C-alpha cells in the first residue's frame, strides 16, 4: 500500500496553523463543507488531513491503552435491580 502513496511525499503540506484551524472547525461540529469555506482549503485536503489524524489517534491509543490496560482500575459493575 505504501507504493500507492509515494506521490504524496512530494505534495505540499498545510502549515501547522492551517491544520489546527481545520481540525478545530471539525471538532467544534462544523460540517466538512463549511470547514472548507471557512478555512479556504480544498475538500480533498480536509479529508486527507482527517485521515492522517485518525491514523495518529489509532497509533496513540494502541500504544497507550492496550499496553496499559492491565493497570487501569475499573470497578466491577453491579447489576441494576
- Tens-digit pLDDT profile for residues 3-17: 544 555 545 677 888
* Range list of H helices, the chain: 16-27, 32-39, 43-61
Local confidence band at 76 (pLDDT 50, 70, 90 cut-offs): low
pTM for the model stands at 0.64
Per-domain residue ranges for the chain?
Answer: 27-51
- Closest to 23 in 3D by CA, of 49, 59, 52, 48: 49
Amino acid at each position: 500500500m505504501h507504493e500507492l502513496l509515494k506521490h504524496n511525499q512530494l505534495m505540499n503540506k498545510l502549515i501547522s496553523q492551517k491544520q489546527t484551524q481545520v481540525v478545530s472547525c471539525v471538532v467544534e461540529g462544523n460540517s466538512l463543507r463549511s470547514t472548507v469555506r471557512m478555512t479556504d482549503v480544498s475538500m480533498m485536503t480536509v479529508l486527507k488531513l482527517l485521515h492522517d489524524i485518525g491514523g495518529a489517534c489509532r497509533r496513540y491509543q494502541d500504544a497507550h491503552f492496550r499496553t496499559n490496560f492491565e493497570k487501569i482500575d475499573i470497578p466491577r459493575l453491579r447489576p441494576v435491580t
